[in-house]
Amino acid sequence: MPSREFHPRRRGAGRSPGLRALGAGAAAVVLASGLAACGGGDGGVPVLNWYTNPDSGGQAEIAARCTEAAEGRYTISTSVLPREASAQREQLVRRLAANDSSIDIMSLDPPFIPEFAQAGFLAPVPGDVAERVTEDVVESAVEGSTWDGELVTVPFWANTQLLWYRTSVAEAAGLDMSQPVTWDQIIQAAQDQDVLIGVQGIRAEALTVWFNALIESAGGSIIAENSTDPEQIQLGLTSEAGIRAAEVMRDISTSGQVGPALSTANEDSTATGFESDQGGFMVNYPFVYPRGLAAVEAGTLDQATVDDYAATVYPQVDAGTESAPPYGGINLGVGAFSEHPDLAYEATECITTTENQSYYFTTNGNPASDSTVYEDPEVLEAFPQAPVILQSLQQAAPRPQTPYYSEVSGGIQRVYHPTSSIDPEQTPQDATELIEAVLRKEQLL
């Protein structure tokens, strides 16, 4: 377990001198391996640097496993990126723009992959690797790893939002949760039972995630006509689906069941609301389940509350039309300036094996992109919702794929926030005008 490896060093810094010496020793080893990286061309074991997003230590453990499996052909060392996906991108982009050769493998948030690919920051995926790493992988994860018709990253784990609900509330409201439900039904049920609907209304990426799921569920897309030329991008916000998405967003926000702080609600604060006595419905990632279990263990939540948790597929916008849940997660890119792209791709294949994805899912709570993982009994035991997650991933739609994602997402966040003041007639129009002007570089964002 990674935690066991890291603890002695952490404690060593503050407590016993013996452990401190151990810490110093570990530091020396790290330093030595860093030096080995510099001298990689001299015949030493090449060190692959893997830039990971923060997690519960799973990627570091997988790196150690793959280093062992490589039997001396390479070692993987991990470096942790900032917590926010946007900050991860900012750091990687700046370094890659300066041709940083120390970036071998990167954990990338899917919406930013087109930008990296278009800028030439990703080493091309070898044909045979592409074939192997997409086998049995859910469709949305393959789509999220693709740009301009080509696979540019290796699918690793795939996240999706589910509709979480309290079984007792749904029963009391008379909702049949074995069938897909609509947002209108949820609003009605929440008003009847006076419980919270958890949605992410904060002016951040989470808002774009929510909006994208609504417009895709209504049969539209944020970008109707894609292009690599920013001035040719046609937005679909003012389409019928776009207006419908704005209506649903406004209806939920003004339903009176979203709590007092919708305009600053993120994934964590909605999970807090769902854990409270007023919890009823919530759209959120699967992490809320282990979060609830941890709270029970810590004594801050009743076991009965978590037993009341249930999850189903994301709500529909229009009854009868299948919903398009959010798709997220992490895919692995290989740096274009890496000195060992072949080894790095070899390492990504090791990282994304079914076994490692199962491990990552069960210990870190991050769902696999490999559909065969969902047949693993251990996964089913740790995540009773695994079949729903798989179904959700198969229905999921990625956010708009464009090298100008920051502009598009930032523009949506600016105009649609706060969601309670959305005017379905005017807001889509305003957002379209802003984003188009920003893409033409005629306005600030």
Partner 1 sequence: MSTTTLPPAGKKTEPVSAPERHTSDRAKAERKLGWLLAGPALAVMLLVTAYPIAQAFYDSLFDYRLTDPENRSFTGLSNYGVILSDPLWWTAMGVTALITLITVAVELVLGFALALVMNKALRSIRPVLRAAILIPYAVITVVSAFAWQFAFDINTGFVNSWFAWLPGVDPSTDWFGDFGTSIFVICLAEIWKTTPFISLLLLAGLAQVPEVLQEAAQVDGATWWQRMRRVTLPNMKAAIMVALLFRTLDAFRVFDSIFIMTAGANSTESVSFLAYRQTISRLEIGLGSAVSVLLFLVVVLIAFSFIKGFKVDLAQARGER
- Judged by CB under 8 A, does residue 203 bind partner 1? yes
In whole angstroms, the minimum distance from the beta carbon of 89 to partner 1 comes to 9
If binding is defined by CB under 8 A, does position 339 make contact with partner 1?
no
Nearer to partner 1, 218 or 408 (CB): 408
In whole angstroms, the minimum distance from the beta carbon of 84 to partner 1 comes to 10
Nearer to partner 1, 236 or 410 (CB): 410
- Residues 182-201, interacting with partner 1 (CB under 8 A): none
Query: Is residue 410 involved in binding partner 1 (CB under 8 A)?
Result: yes
- Are 301 and 367 within 8 A, CB to CB? no
User: Per CB under 8 A, does 406 bind partner 1?
Assistant: yes
CA–CA distance from 435 to each of 13, 52, 200, 371, 399 (Å)? Answer: 49, 31, 22, 37, 16
Tell me the site size for partner 1, rule CB under 8 A.
31
The tokens for 207 are: 């808002």
Q: Which stretch binds partner 1 (CB under 8 A): 36-44, 127-135, 254-262, 354-362?
A: 254-262
Residue list 146-165, contact with partner 1 (CB under 8 A): none
269 in contact with partner 1 (CB under 8 A): yes
- Of residues 20, 417, 424, 430, which one binds partner 1 by CB under 8 A? 417
Could you list the beta-strand ranges (E) of 167-316. 196-198, 223-225, 234-235, 279-284, 309-312
Binding window for partner 1 (CB under 8 A); candidates: 24-32, 47-55, 175-183, 404-412: 404-412
The strand pairing partners of 80, in sequence order, are 52
Q: Which of 33, 102, 118, 239 binds partner 1 (CB under 8 A)?
A: 118
Query: Facing residues of 234 across strands?
Result: 225
Residue with tokens 């490589």: 70
Within 10 Å of residue 21's Cβ, how many Cβ atoms? 11
Give the residue, chosen from 61, 115, 247, 267, that forms a contact with partner 1 under the rule CB under 8 A.
Answer: 115
In the complex with partner 1, which residue's Cβ is closer, 219 or 337? 337
The residue from 407, 419, 422, 431 that contacts partner 1 (CB under 8 A) is 407
Is 272 a binding residue for partner 1 by CB under 8 A? The answer is yes
Cα gap 201→386, rounded to integer Å: 27
284 binds partner 1 (CB under 8 A): no
**Burial classification of residue 281, based on how many CB atoms lie within 10 Å of its CB (0-12 exposed, 13-18 middle, 19 or more buried):** buried
Looking at residues 418 to 437 of the shown chain, list those that interact with partner 1 (rule: CB under 8 A): 418
Q: Cα separation of 294 and 298, whole Å?
A: 6
Which residue number, 3 or 264, has a Cβ lying nearer to partner 1?
264
Distance CA 417, CA 215 (A): 16
H helices then E strands: how many in the chain?
20, 13
By CB under 8 A, is residue 294 in contact with partner 1?
no
Scanning the structure block, which residue is given the tokens 């398009």? 324
CA-wise closest residue to 109 among 58, 144, 73: 144
Q: At which residue do the structure tokens 């920013």 appear?
A: 230
Q: Which of residues 53-112 bind partner 1 (CB under 8 A)?
A: 86, 90, 93-94, 97
| 43 lies in the site for partner 1, by CB under 8 A | no
Give 292-339 as a DSSP string: HHHHHHHTSS-HHHHHTEEEES--BSSTTSPP--BEEEEEEEEBTT-S
Binding site for partner 1 (CB under 8 A): 86, 90, 93-94, 97, 115, 118-119, 121, 202-204, 260-264, 269, 272, 403, 406-407, 410, 417-418, 438, 441-445
